Amino acid sequence: MNETQPTRPTAESERYRNAGHWEGVTFGSSLRRWAATRPGSVALVDGDRRWTYAELDREADRVARGLRGLGLGQGDRVVVQLPNCAEFVLIWFGLQRLGAVPVHAMPGHRRTEISHLVRTSRATACVITDRHARFDHRELLREVLADHESSGSLRHVVVVGETGRHEDFVRFDELREAGNGQEPLPADGGADSGDLALLLLSGGTTGLPKLIPRTHDDYSYNVRASADLCAFDPGTIYLAVLPIAFNFTLSCPGVLGTLFRGGTVVVSPDPSPQTAFALIEHEGVTVTSLSPPLVPYWMDEAATGLSDISSLAVVQVGGARLPDDLARRLGPALGVTVQQVFGMAEGLINLTRLDDPEELVCSTQGRPISPDDEVLVVDAEGEPVPDGAPGELLTRGPYTLRGYYRAEEHNRTAFTEDGYYRTGDLVRHLPSGHLVVVGRIKDQINRGGEKIGATEVEEQLLTHPSITSAALIGVPDERWGERSVAFVMCAGSAPSTRELAAFLRERGMAEHKAPDEVVEVGHMPLTAVGKIDKTALARQLPRA
């Protein structure tokens, strides 16, 4: 095991290579190849800006040269926090061209999360936008820089847009200009296909969220295997509605799957059906991906009949459990084939197949994309349960991690001895191989696809001057699938939900993690081993 990444047994890697899963290709060299084979096809659309594959390749060179001019190089980690915009793709490939490693932050992340990402990845640079959703990311980075002043490792902030009063930040446009040049760059800065290609953030269960190392080999396979199952081809026009930094949108098959197959990626700046439907009509979009809470809004908009969305053939839904009933209504409402996606940044992706019978599409979360994905469903003792019975999903395979990045202690419990990742998801395994997600044993709340690690929030709650004990639980919610309720014991008066949200915002926590509701309790029920009994707390709430 090396410092950054526990390694797989050599025999296993060998097997994945021999099976043709790992092709020995980096993302930087893939882009070079696409530009050579289909230079004039449109790769990327954002508003009225368009890039062909050849242009995308040249942009990657330019961005890479600009970043190199700042002193960045192969293996450097760079935190990327951008809303949906073409620059995300240009910068992502610019980093790949340099052999540098993008670290994916979500647009809603704040000081706590960004600082944590910078610290854990030892990032040397951050790429941000100037303002988004009425929030100034430059001010956020000022604070993050202050957090890392003593270590001195975070040296550059690149801003898509204006740098404003921050003269030490670099404008992305300037960096591109500085990267103008004729001399050809190596395709991937000399990176090896077994090297780290990107770092994704886990949903988090205990403590702060962990980083997930993905290599060129494993992530490319993830993309190609999903693109094959979804029949992506040069005619595919994919609309990126959810954040591009989200693994689902980027690689299942998403943005990268579209590019691997010669299609066109259209960027939606926001997930509203109004924005998206206009783009679908204008660009002839054929496929997109949604989280469950968006589904009713998209169905309502379709019912108005105001836009022609007849080009749309497939809608993927994933990230959280899609209620069966909604799955049944979605296809007819939008005139599309529905595909359920049950995936995780750690690796394993399950898809319903495009030709699966309707019953499986509407009532299961799909089956693994690779014949070499190994899944086990086990009871509390780790023993396999009979087929069809609920149990925890364990998995191992050609694109599933063997350990979190620099998290040795956590890795000891997050994996079994023989390398299976404990997903914390409760599933039922059907004879067809399809999985039904029936619950969760990990201490996490899934708020419409946004994952909230309970202990991370509880630790923040305990910093409030009047809170003496805190427990965060998820409860069923019509809109989000689940919402978060904080049970708190207080010395003095309990903060209201709104006061607590303001307090947590002040502490630099992403807003979606703030409890949707606060309930004050006189004492915390405890389990036999003295832990807070969350099941007992849940019973105290009126039933929905």
Binding site for ligand OOB (CB under 6 A): 203, 247-248, 252, 318-321, 340-345, 349, 365, 423, 425, 437, 440, 446, 451
Which pair of tokens denotes residue 404?
A: 């979190």
Report the nearest approach of ligand OOB to the CB of residue 492 (Å).
37
Q: 292 or 495: whose CB is closer to ligand OOB? A: 292
Report the nearest approach of ligand OOB to the CB of residue 310 (Å).
26
Q: 172 or 420: whose CB is closer to ligand OOB? A: 420
3-class secondary structure, 201: strand
Residue 462, φ and ψ in degrees, nearest 5: -70, -10
Report the nearest approach of ligand OOB to the CB of residue 225 (Å).
13
Report the nearest approach of ligand OOB to the CB of residue 58 (Å).
30
Q: What angle do CA 245, 249, 253 make, to 5 degrees?
A: 130
Report the nearest approach of ligand OOB to the CB of residue 290 (Å).
11
Q: 179 or 292: whose CB is closer to ligand OOB? A: 292
In the block, residue with structure tokens 């404008």: 171
Q: 278 or 441: whose CB is closer to ligand OOB? A: 441
Q: 423 or 460: whose CB is closer to ligand OOB? A: 423
345 exposure class (CB count in 10 Å sphere: 0-12, 13-18, 19+): buried
Report the nearest approach of ligand OOB to the CB of residue 307 (Å).
26
**Is 375:395 a contact under the CB 8 Å cutoff?**
yes
Residue type, 496: S
Which residues have C-beta within 8 Å of that of residue 337, sequence separation ≥ 6? 313, 314, 315, 331, 354
Q: What angle do CA 415, 421, 427 make, to 5 degrees?
A: 130
Count Cβ atoms below 10 Å from residue 326 Cβ, excluding itself.
17
Pairing type for strands 421-429 and 435-440 reads antiparallel
Q: 126 or 212: whose CB is closer to ligand OOB? A: 212
Distance, CA of 188 to CA of 343 (rounded, Å): 28
Report the nearest approach of ligand OOB to the CB of residue 109 (Å).
13
Residue type, 277: F
Report the nearest approach of ligand OOB to the CB of residue 378 (Å).
15
Q: 29 or 365: whose CB is closer to ligand OOB? A: 365
Which pair of tokens denotes residue 530?
A: 């003295």
3-class secondary structure, 11: helix
Report the nearest approach of ligand OOB to the CB of residue 440 (Å).
6
Comparing every residue's Cβ against ligand OOB, the nearest one is 343
**Is 237:42 a contact under the CB 8 Å cutoff?**
no
Residue 476: alpha-carbon gap to chain centroid:
23
3-class secondary structure, 53: helix
DSSP-H helix ranges across 122-215: 137-147, 172-178
Report the nearest approach of ligand OOB to the CB of residue 178 (Å).
36
In the block, residue with structure tokens 């949707």: 516
- Find the helix or strand (DSSP H, E) in which 198 lies: strand 196-201
Report the nearest approach of ligand OOB to the CB of residue 254 (Å).
9
**Is 126:114 a contact under the CB 8 Å cutoff?**
yes
Count Cβ atoms below 10 Å from residue 412 Cβ, excluding itself.
10
In the block, residue with structure tokens 């084979």: 37
Q: 156 or 440: whose CB is closer to ligand OOB? A: 440
Q: 28 or 453: whose CB is closer to ligand OOB? A: 453
**Is 397:441 a contact under the CB 8 Å cutoff?**
no
Report the nearest approach of ligand OOB to the CB of residue 320 (Å).
5
Q: 66 or 318: whose CB is closer to ligand OOB? A: 318
Q: 98 or 401: whose CB is closer to ligand OOB? A: 401
Q: 59 or 425: whose CB is closer to ligand OOB? A: 425
Residue 133: name the closest of 174, 181, 87, 83 by CA: 83
Q: 209 or 495: whose CB is closer to ligand OOB? A: 209
Report the nearest approach of ligand OOB to the CB of residue 369 (Å).
10
Distance, CA of 503 to CA of 510 (rounded, Å): 12
Q: 333 or 344: whose CB is closer to ligand OOB? A: 344
Report the nearest approach of ligand OOB to the CB of residue 253 (Å).
10
Residue 125: name the closest of 171, 167, 72, 161 by CA: 72
Distance, CA of 229 to CA of 360 (rounded, Å): 16
3-class secondary structure, 81: strand
**Is 298:270 a contact under the CB 8 Å cutoff?**
no
